[in-house]
Structure 1
């Protein structure tokens, strides 16, 4: 019965989710599943933005009545070790690890378009001038 209904409908049943490989980075993205799909929307938790990179393995959910609207919802985690309970944000050359012994920053740190070193130096100059009565 089910097989005959499927043939009458003209569609084969697709899985509601699949793993694909990004072929065009950005948002919208291109993803290779059983063929390349373009203009795939990228979703992330509120307040968080993400741009998938070419070659990344991603989770694709297929939305819509007939699963005609694929969307990217996540990327396969890297093989780098992360301690249980840890959280890692990474992109480009930067990385932030929240772990049991504190916060670890890797890569350059920028505050209001200034390197951390320049920012601290500017504050030190202001404090010095204030102490010496020149500010």
Structure 2
């Protein structure tokens, strides 16, 4: 039986990516090596960063094909995290915008993985 869930992102440089995510998330990885790092997000989801050179079978695609979502409690938090992440060097692909489901912005990590921060609108 499955006892936990994780998302594994294939990255060019696991150490560099771990540093980026440490700064962005305000936490250190729970496990780190030159080829892999693992973060446990507040929701309990594990976010792994795996150096693509060691992945078997080799990945067919890299970042940008989907979003890793970070749901926040308020629309104000979307705007606050946007300013914070932009100040920490994240590349913003979409500034805070009201969409049909709520308020959201999209940033990218060094490998082009899309990070969507969002708040779901009431009603």
- Larger RCO (alpha carbons 8 Å, 6+ apart): 2
> Which has the larger share of helix?
2
Please tell me whether Structure 1 or Structure 2 has the larger radius of gyration of its CA atoms. 1
TM above 0.5: no
What band does the TM-score fall into relative to the shorter chain? under 0.3
Please give the TM-score of this superposition, normalised by the length of structure 2: 0.24
- TM-score, length-scaled by structure 1: 0.23
